[in-house]
Every structure is written in structure tokens, then in C-alpha cells.
Amino acid sequence: MGKQKTQKAVKPEKKARDRKDKKFATGAEAVTWDLTDLYPSVDDLKARLAAAERRAESFGNRYRGTLGALDAGALASAIDELGQILDESGRAYTYAYLNWVTDTADSDRGALLQFVKEGYTRVTQSVVFFDVEWAHLDDERASVVLASPLLSGYRHFLELQRLHRKHVLTEPEEKVVSEMSVNGRQAWNRYFDETISAMRFKLKGKYLTEQEVLARLHEPDRKERRKAAAAFTDVLKQHERTLTYVFNTVLADKASQDRLRGYSTWISSRNQSNEVSDETVEALVKAVTDRYDLVHRFYKLKRKILGVRRLYDYDRYAPVGDADTKYTWAEAKTLVIESYASFHARLGEIVTEFFDRRWIDAAVAPGKRGGAFSHGAVPSVHPYILLNYTGRSRDVQTLAHELGHGVHQYLSRVQGVFHADTPLTTAETASVFGEMLTFQRIIAGEDDLSNRLAMLVGKIDDTMATVFRQVTMNRFEDRIHNARREGGELTAKDFAAHWKATQSAMYGKSVRLSSDYDSWWSYIPHFLHTPGYVYAYAFGELLVLALYERYQTEGSSFAERYLDLLSAGGSDWPHNLLKPLGVDLTDLSFWQQGLASIEKMIDQAEAIHAKVK
């Protein structure tokens, strides 16, 4: 098939481009999710969680110590029952967590979340023997059982358990680790989330949430950006002692876990769960850090476009050109649905379900967790998406991004509990691809060169954050984990020094980082919730840039294979799942292809700027 033509999108109405009213109503103010698909009531949740606990205990009594004697059929039946238990307990955890994140200040919601965590832990303790016994089963016996077609639907899960066996503790030890996590790292993460969510940042006499004040960094008015950055820094510094202590505690907890399980480095456990080698990740990091020249070149161009002598940290996300465009929730909905549907009708149908069936919570509200995510829930239900929608074009891109995750999670449910989730290395594929589809649709409807430049620069801004900044954050994590393990507890100044050093390496002389920026390591939840996660963003972005090139060439035949990839979830090794799309993850040159695409975008932006300046 010939080169795929990009459909030209209908332009937003002119009135949408002129919305400068700070009180702009997006229409998302009442967009909240409906959690009754999970449970009709809290009482029902508690009853079903209690039943899951009893079933898990019974499962343990029947199967503990017997896995080595089970034939393939009996083992398949046991795994099927285990999956049902995990689905039910995971459903309870999903409800409690989603109920809590929309109002982290509500003590009743926090209490329910803790109640469910404790019940979930008891389920885990009852069934943890399965992982331990299977991991340590005799190789010959395991091979014979795995060869049976009766276990084909569970094979990759079982293979991974065997692969990780040297890091699996004894059953009593695993129970202790599970029990302690509830009041250990999980508790500190909850405390961190509640602390950040409760912060209020004073700007122009108003008290803003984290999401609202950070949104001001995208304002066209430089003074407003600078004041917003200062207000954000002031509050972070007020909580510096608390946040430093939380970080130190979580870092120490991870060091203990890694030592107990025998992982050689702080990142090894994350890489193993991502189904990639330490060497592959190191190669990715090197490929990106070797191209920091692209960062310097882009911000040099942006400085010229903005017409300032020097860029500061609060200028990085400054919009250029058509900066005041805002989109109502209805406009964003139409734009994203059309973008997905133009790629494949089935994707358009699934995305529409998210809107129509209230699987999205988009309203900005006090106490609500900042940022955005798509929660995969459990295979027996469906995903849910959280946003903080303010109507900016960036919010439209975020909506498209999270719906990519949502579509992926929706389609992969057919794989069941053990294979629905994907490793983080490929988890960002659908989200970034959906974002790219939406961006191309937006820019296709723009004929004005100045506006095209503004959109292109905005897209490169996002790419800089997704690829280069995430890798610098990986470098920051590498430094703080190793420093904590080698030298003990870190001070706030230590964290700031590591942050400044790794950030400065990326920006060079293209952006001046103020002393205020030294504190900005302390609000990023990924460092605590999912240590080592951030490089997956760069992995996904570079992979998608390569995949999008293939789509442009192959068209609809690519789209069908792409849906097969999403539906496969984590049922096989990532490099096997991606082979039908023409990507070889063992060939590290694909990262260079992605970086070349970024360079091409910068070339285009420079060329347009030369015409319009």
C-alpha cells in the first residue's frame, strides 16, 4: 500500500482560538467517573473482599506443597482459580484507590483504602506460596509440565516466574515482606501523595493546587511564569524536611528489598520486570545522553522565537505564537475520537465508550491527585482514566495519551489477570501513538505558518520532556539510589546537588537553571511509587516514532497488526510481540531512528521560523 495520507482535520472554531478569559469554563467541571461498575456500594466491596480472603485461604490449604505433583490439567485449574481470586482482590483495591485519589483529604476514603490494602495483603499472603513453589520447582519437572498445550494460556507468566526464581524468598519471608509493605513503603507513598495534594500555592492572592500552579508555566506572560515557579518553589521549600525524609525512607526500603532478593543494582529489578536486560537500558540511556546536542539546538531556536536574551527554567514550556487556544471538553472529545477512529474504527468505538460510560474523571477539584493516569483495573471490568482538564492544547494531548493506555488495557483484558499487563518498556507504546495521531490531526487543520510553528514547537516541547528529561531523571535516580546505599541518608542539599548536576548536563548553556529549581526533585511521584520507571517513557517515545513512520508507509495493514499487538497484552516477550510490526528490539539502532525523527522535527521548526520571522 502506498504512503498513508494524513486526514485533514476540521479547524477549531475561531472563538476557540480567542479564549483568553482566565475563568474559561471547559465543560469538564462535572466530568467524574462512575465506580459502580466495580461495586454498587462499599458494603458490597467489603463482603466480596472478605469472600476473596476466605477463598484465598482455602486455595492455600488445598494446593500448598502440592505443585510438584500436579499434572498440567490440574495445574491449569489451580492457576485459573488463582486468577479469579486475584481479580476480585484487585477489583477491591482499584475501587478504594480510585475513590481516594479524587479526594485525598477525605479521611473516610483514606480509611477505606487502608482497609482494602490490609485485606489485599492477607489475600497475597495466602497465595504467595504458589510463586515460591513454582519458581523453585525442579527444572525437569517444570519443563515437562510447561510443554503441555493445556498451559499455553499461562506459559509466559510461568516462564517469567521461573526466570525470577533466584530473587524469590521462602514463603515465610515473602509473607513478612508483604505484611511489612502495608505500613512501610506503601504508607510513605500514601503520605507523600496526601502531602502534595494538600499543598496550596499562593499566586495573585489566590491559592492554587499543584496542577493549577504548574499549568501557569505554560502561560505566554513571562512574569506570570516566573511568579508561578517562585510560588511553587516556596511551598516545596516549606515541606523540604518532610519530603527529604520520605525520599530517604523509600530509598532505604528499596535498598533493603534489593539486598534481600539479591539484585545486583538498584535498577535490576525494574529492568527484569520490564523484560529487558541491564545492558539494553544502559544502551538506551547512552543513545539519548549522546544526543543532548538536540536539546541545546531546540532551546536555542525557542529562545530566538520568544525573542529573549536567555531562557530560564520557567521558560521551558512557554508557548509560542497561538498560545491562547483553549478547547472545551466537547471539542477535545470530538478531536480525540476522530483521531483514533481515523486510524481504526474499532479504536474510535472504544474511546467513545470511555466518554459515554463515565470511565473518565476530568474535573479539577480540591484534594484530587494532580497529573493524569489510566488505571487498568482488572480484566473482569475495564480501565478508568484520571485527568485534571483545564482546556489547554496540552490537556488535549494528555487526554489522547491516557486514552491510548486505556485502549491498550481495554483490549488486553482478554489475556486475563496474568497476561493483561505489559512491561513498562512497551506500556507507553499505545499512549504515545495515540498522542501522535491526535497531534497530526490538529496540525493537519492548520494552514497558518505561525500557528503551525507554535504547534510544532509545542510537540517538540513534549518530546524533550518525554525523551530527554525522563532520561535525566533516570540519571538523577541512579545517583540518589547509589549515594543512599554507599553513604547513608541524604540531605536536601544532597538531593538538590544531584538534581542540578543531572539536569544541567541536559540543558547545558541553552537554559539557565535558577537556584529555585534545585527543589523541584521533591514533588515527582514516580521516584517513590515506581523507582526506575521513567526511562520507559523515552523507550516508548522512540519506539513510537519508528512505528509511526511505518504506519505512514503501510497504512491500514499496519493498523490491523497494531490492534493485534494491543490485544496481546503481556502474553509474550516484547521483542516477539513487536516483530510482526517490523521492529526488532534487539537491534539497538531503532533508538537512533527515533532520535533522527526528533532531529527532523527540529529541522522543520527551524525552516518554518526562517519563513515567518
Same domain? For 24 and 49 the reply is: no
419 touches 321 (CB < 8 A): no
Is the pLDDT reported for residue 5 higher than 50?
Answer: no
The runs of H, that is alpha helices, within 147-290 are: 155-163, 171-182, 185-198, 210-215, 222-238, 240-261, 268-273, 278-289
Residues 21 and 161 both lie in one domain: no
pLDDT (average), residues 137-149: 91
User: What is the band of 322 on the pLDDT scale with cuts at 50, 70, 90?
Assistant: low
Q: Is residue 418 part of a domain?
A: yes
Q: What is the mean pLDDT of residues 14-40?
A: 77
Residues 54 and 105 in one domain: yes
Is 131 domain-assigned? yes
DSSP assignments along 518-532, one per residue: GGTTTT-THHHHSTT
User: Which stretch of DSSP H or E encloses residue 386?
Assistant: strand 384-386
In whole angstroms, give the CA distance from residue 538 to residue 285. 9
pLDDT of residue 11: 47
The pLDDT of residue 280: 81
Last residue of a domain, one of 406, 423, 440: 423
Which among 423, 441, 474 is the end of a domain? Answer: 423
Reduced to 3 states, what is the DSSP secondary structure of residue 230? helix
Indicate whether 155 belongs to any domain: yes
Tell me, yes or no, whether 85 and 22 share the same domain.
Answer: no
Overall average pLDDT of the 341-355 stretch: 97
More confident residue, 279 or 563: 563
Contacts of 152 (CB under 8 A, 6+ apart): none
Q: Grid coordinates standing for 44?
A: 458490597
pLDDT (tens digit, 9 = 90+) per residue, 53-105?
999 999 999 999 999 899 999 999 999 999 999 999 999 999 999 999 999 99
What is the torsion angle, in degrees rounded to the nearest 10, for the CA atoms of residue 295, residue 300, residue 301 and residue 304? 160
pLDDT, the chain, mean: 90
Specify the CATH number for the domain of residue 151.
1.20.140.70
Q: Above 70 in pLDDT, residue 4?
A: no
Based on the fold, state whether residues 392 and 344 are members of the same structural domain.
yes
- In a domain? residue 243: no
Distance CA(180)–CA(536), nearest Å, equals 28
Average pLDDT in the 431-440 region? 92
Judge whether residue 1 has pLDDT over 60: no
Same domain, 13 and 85: no
- Are residues 152 and 41 part of one domain? yes
Q: Higher pLDDT residue, 362 or 13?
A: 362
How far, in Å, CA of 478 to CA of 495, rounded?
12
**Is residue 9 domain-shared with residue 118, that is, in the same domain?**
no
Residue 240: band (very low, low, confident or very high) from pLDDT cuts 50, 70, 90: very high
pLDDT > 90? residue 324: no
Q: Is residue 559 part of a domain?
A: no
- pLDDT of res. 157: 94
Global pTM value:
0.79
Share of the chain above pLDDT 90, in %: 72
Residue 82 lies in a domain: yes
Q: Using CA atoms, how far apart are residues 490 and 492, in angstroms rounded to an integer? A: 7
Structurally, the chain folds into a number of domains equal to: 2
Residue 237 forms part of a structural domain: no
**Which residue did the predictor score with more confidence, 121 or 13?**
121
- pLDDT score of 550: 85
401 Cβ contact list (under 8 Å, min separation 6): 372, 431, 432, 434, 435
Among 423, 449, 471, the domain boundary falls at 423
220-234 per-position pLDDT tens digit:
999 999 999 999 999
Same-domain pairing of 107 and 178: yes
pLDDT > 70: what percent of the chain? 95
Q: What is the pLDDT of residue 585?
A: 72
Q: What is the pLDDT of residues 504-558, one digit of tens each?
A: 999 999 999 999 999 999 999 999 999 998 998 898 889 888 888 889 889 888 9
The mean pLDDT value for 179-188 works out to: 82
Residue 188 predicted with pLDDT over 70: yes
**Residue 26 and residue 66 in one domain:** no
Average pLDDT estimate for 488-509? 97
Output the nine-digit C-alpha cell for 564. 493485534
Element (H, E) at 207: strand 206-208
- The DSSP bridge pattern shows strands 360-361 and 384-386 to be parallel
Which of 72-86, 153-167, 200-214, 284-298 is the least confident region? 153-167
Q: Report the pLDDT value the prediction gives residue 94, as an integer from 0 to 100.
A: 98
Query: Is the pLDDT score of 471 beyond 70?
Result: yes
Q: Is the same domain home to 3 and 39? A: no
Is the distance from CB of 573 to CB of 275 less than 8 angstroms? yes
CB 539 within 8 A of CB 283: no
- Full residue range of the structural domain in which residue 400 is found: 1-30+324-423
* Close Cβ partners of 214 (under 8 Å, ≥ 6 residues apart): 228, 232, 370
Residue 6 lies in a domain: yes
User: What are the contacts of 556-559 at 24+ separation with CB within 8 A?
Assistant: 556/1, 556/344, 557/1, 559/343, 559/344
Q: Do 13 and 123 belong to one domain?
A: no
SS3 231: helix
What radius of gyration do the chain's Cα atoms show?
24
Cell triple for 274: 520490564
> What pLDDT does residue 22 have?
54
Burial class (CB in 10 A: 0-12, 13-18, 19+), 447: exposed
Average pLDDT for 259-288: 89
